[in-house]
Amino acid sequence: MTPLAIGIAGALGLLLLAVLGVRIAYAAAFVGIVGLVVLMGNPYAALVAAGTIPFAKSTSYELSVLPMFILIGYLAYYAGMTRTSFEAAKRWFGWLPGGLAVGTIFAVAAFSAVSGASTAAAAVFARVAIPEMLRAGYNRRLAAGVVAAGSTLDSLIPPSALLVIYGIIVEQSIGDLLIAGFVPGIISALVYCAIVVLRCKLDPSLGRPITGYTWQQRFESLPPTAPIWIVILLIFTSMLFGWATPTEAGALGAFSTLVFAWRHRMTWGQFRGALLESAKLTVMIFTIIWGVLIFVRFLGYANLPATFSGWIGDLKLPPLAILLAIYAIYLVLGCFMDAIGMMLLTLPIVYPIVEGLGYDPIWFGIIVVKLCGIGLLTPPVGLSAFVVNGVRPDIPLGDVFRGIWPFLLADVLTVALLTAYPQLVTFVVDLRVR
């Protein structure tokens, strides 16, 4: 067999293992090592080539930002940021049709700016927001769907672990990517809100307005949200004006969140729990990166990315048609794979194609992360839906997925908008001080 044929066989083998339920980290590492042995003809040399990856990537400075961003999210929960953001959003937006759901979206968006994990946002707001909506008579599908969909904003709004991983894979500025995610994240939240308001306007039984709050009560809800805005400003401005690297900005955000958590009377047990959960999630992400990058090295030896990129480039198709085909690939893979594994597997092949077509790599990173966010919602994997169901087992998983479909439409509209107007992503990056 030629190296190219071995590379294709390895890619198909990995897809088969993923469909059979083998964890992507172990499946990718296994296929990568076997492929390297076959291509190199020397087991010792293949193991050495694969064994250098964990050390090389673990000592990468860029990866040090991940545990900082993840820790911020866990500490933010103990700092009371979830409840204060939800209470303020409820008082300010409850008067709208579906106002509690709208408030939930804005509260999740605010929490996303101090959290690095979508699953954490889904779990937290399933506990905080869903009971409030159900007590107010909201449709349970809408309540579950809005929490699951809102949690995916975490993948766009910094601090975002997915944007960091994208930057590491394609060797783009992590600072630029994190800065670029703010506006698309806000746009996505606004589109979600528009969908909720429109649906509840047409069918008020889904979620009626919450009235009775005075202007004084609304303004009284703002001071408790100050910790969120302080952390957001520290992270955003320090990166925008070049005062700190992403890792330094993450450490600054984690420290300030820790201070607010102590002021909120976080116990030593809770602090220990936050550190342990952050460590567990970080190790999981690092393990996936190690396994998949072994597979990527195998693909490089097989010359599959360069060959596939050249073949696509020779097709007589408009660049937009190729781009839409790439979108479709991500949407299909998102039904069966987690976001990190999907990015690590596809980007070595897809990114050279997109770069050859002349698209901006920062803009494409935002698009890829948004498409991965859609994968968090689509069955049968739909991780955010499973998290919501796990926290609220009284809401059947089928109802969670049914509540999600309108937000999938909103995501498609957001991707179309960002594709038609890429400057919505890039203009903030142009303002960044180098």
| HEC-encoded secondary structure of 228-284 | HHHHHHHHHHHHHCCCCCHHHHHHHHHHHHHHHHHHCCCCHHHHHHHHHHHHHHHHH
51 φ/ψ angles, rounded to the nearest 5 degrees: -75, -20
Q: Which residue has the higher pLDDT, 99 or 61?
A: 99
Mean pLDDT of 161-168: 85
Structure tokens at 155: 């993948």
Which pLDDT does position 116 carry in this prediction?
Answer: 62
Which pLDDT does position 383 carry in this prediction?
Answer: 77
181-210 as b/e: b if 16+ CB within 10 A: bbbbbbbbbebbbebbbebbeeeeebbbbb
Helix axis angle for 24-40 and 339-356, nearest 10°, is 50
Q: How many helices (H) and strands (E) does the chain have?
A: 22, 0
Burial class of 311 by CB neighbour count within 10 A (0 to 12, 13 to 18, 19+)? exposed
Whether the Cβ atoms of residue 99 and residue 207 lie closer than 8 Å to each other: yes
d(CA 84, CA 78): 12
Which pLDDT does position 188 carry in this prediction?
Answer: 93
307 Cβ neighbours under 8 A, 6+ residues apart: 4
Name the band, by pLDDT with cuts 50, 70 and 90, for residue 117. Answer: low
Which pLDDT does position 4 carry in this prediction?
Answer: 81
Confirm whether 135 is domain-assigned: yes
Confirm whether 404 is domain-assigned: yes
Which pLDDT does position 313 carry in this prediction?
Answer: 66
Measured in residues, the chain has a length of 434
Q: Which residue has the higher pLDDT, 91 or 161?
A: 91
Mean pLDDT of 124-144: 87
Per DSSP, 115 falls in state -
d(CA 79, CA 115): 12
- 324, containing H or E segment: helix 319-333
Rg (CA), the chain: 22
- Nearest in space to 348 (alpha carbons), one of 300, 302, 391, 396: 300
Total domains in the fold of the chain: 1
Tokens 């630029």 identify what position?
A: 176
Whether the Cβ atoms of residue 129 and residue 100 lie closer than 8 Å to each other: yes
Confirm whether 204 is domain-assigned: yes
Residue 434 has pLDDT above 60, yes or no: no
Mean pLDDT of the chain: 84
Tokens 């606004």 identify what position?
A: 190
Name the band, by pLDDT with cuts 50, 70 and 90, for residue 370. Answer: very high
Q: pLDDT tens digits for 396-411?
A: 888 888 999 999 999 9
Q: Dihedral sign, CA of 237, 242, 244, 250?
A: positive
By residue range, what is the domain housing residue 278? Answer: 63-290+303-430
368 Cβ neighbours under 8 A, 6+ residues apart: 166, 330, 343, 347
Mean pLDDT of 66-79: 79
Which pLDDT does position 194 carry in this prediction?
Answer: 94
Residue 355 has pLDDT above 60, yes or no: yes
- 319, containing H or E segment: helix 319-333
Name the band, by pLDDT with cuts 50, 70 and 90, for residue 362. Answer: very high
Listing DSSP states for 167-189 in one string gives: HHHHT--HHHHHHHTHHHHHHHH
Structure tokens at 249: 């900005």
Mean pLDDT of 377-389: 80
d(CA 115, CA 112): 5
Confirm whether 5 is domain-assigned: no
Which pLDDT does position 198 carry in this prediction?
Answer: 93
Which pLDDT does position 363 carry in this prediction?
Answer: 94
Structure tokens at 392: 């609220």
Percent of the chain at pLDDT > 90 equals 15
d(CA 427, CA 218): 33
pTM for the whole structure: 0.82
Residue 118 has pLDDT above 80, yes or no: no
Confirm whether 74 is domain-assigned: yes
Q: pLDDT tens digits for 81-97?
A: 778 888 888 899 888 99
Per DSSP, 378 falls in state S
Q: Which residue has the higher pLDDT, 145 or 316?
A: 145
- Nearest in space to 241 (alpha carbons), one of 428, 425, 434, 65: 434
296 φ/ψ angles, rounded to the nearest 5 degrees: -65, -40
| Dihedral class, residue 26 (left if φ above 0, else alpha if ψ from -120 to 50, else beta) | alpha
Confirm whether 49 is domain-assigned: no
Mean pLDDT of 60-64: 72
Whether the Cβ atoms of residue 332 and residue 375 lie closer than 8 Å to each other: no
Q: Which residue has the higher pLDDT, 119 or 251?
A: 251
Q: pLDDT tens digits for 192-215?
A: 999 999 999 999 888 888 887 888
Confirm whether 52 is domain-assigned: no
At 79 the three-state DSSP class reads: coil
Tokens 């769907």 identify what position?
A: 145
As a dihedral over the C-alpha atoms of residue 349, residue 293, residue 363, residue 318, rounded to 10 degrees, the angle is 0
Residue 318 has pLDDT above 90, yes or no: no
- The least confident of 111-120, 222-231, 347-356, 373-382 is 111-120
Which pLDDT does position 162 carry in this prediction?
Answer: 85
